[in-house]
Structure 1
Amino acid sequence: MAKEQGQSGKTGILLYSAWFVSLVAMLGSLYFSEVQGFIPCELCWYQRIAMYPLVLILGIATFTNDTKAPRYVLPLSLLGGSISVLHYLEQKIPGFGGFKPCVNGVPCSSEYINWAGFITIPFLALIAFVLITVTMLLLAFRESRS
């Protein structure tokens, strides 16, 4: 019985951690756009499309202690992370220029923030997607062993 409670507690911590990261990422993106007035580019919108549902999905999974969460969280986190990598490369590698240049609104190569010379908004999103992916992989590994 104690072993089951320990396993359940570790599952809950992983789910709660992933949910917390998604919530902070969503609130951070809203802060940048609504408070700071940074207009999201097209790739930023795609990253939001991948992140925002994770707040609800991971919130429900945390509340219900759903150990099957990696099945439906990983596709979104991997897709969002891939978009973040593409966006970051477009910002940091001159001439990378994306496969479809942004023609309306803010160019995807613009950098609203550039902390320490490498931390941009897509980099922050990538960190969030990576953290969520790692927690879901740990949860899936833990569940496959039990």
Structure 2
Amino acid sequence: MNAIKSKNDLMSLLIKALKANGLKITEKRQILLNVFLKNPDIHFDFDTLYQEAKKEWPHYGVATLYRNLKIFVDKGILSENIIGTKKYYELKMFNKKKIHAHLICKYCGSIDEYYSPDLIKYIKMIDNKYDFDVYYGELNFYGICSKCKKTPKNEKH
């Protein structure tokens, strides 16, 4: 099997997935998907995602974004994670790290992902013990990132 090499290849696969789910391929959906493809490692909150979509097309609407996010989450293209009081979205479809942990800094709000084969082994142990098949999951850990640890305490948010 050939490796997927470009953003265009990924967009083609996303378009096929939309069609397979009976969805129309609109310019606004492609703009939204393109934002995720340009930034595959970013967890977008709604406001940031909205600003990025508007950079692509200045008339991108709030209702359109809400509607398309819901559709993409329902169809398994994006994942929606609630971290604290905010929802964050990430491209789920091509995420090789289906089961991973989010490391969330309580000061700056940065979100990093942690993935380890040991984490997968532990999940498989849970699968066997409870006869439960885990397909996807996230864990959220809250703490202090290395950058904030280096910041003097009186300068932290």
TM-score by length of 1: 0.30
Name whichever structure is richer in helix by fraction. 1
TM-score (norm 2): 0.28
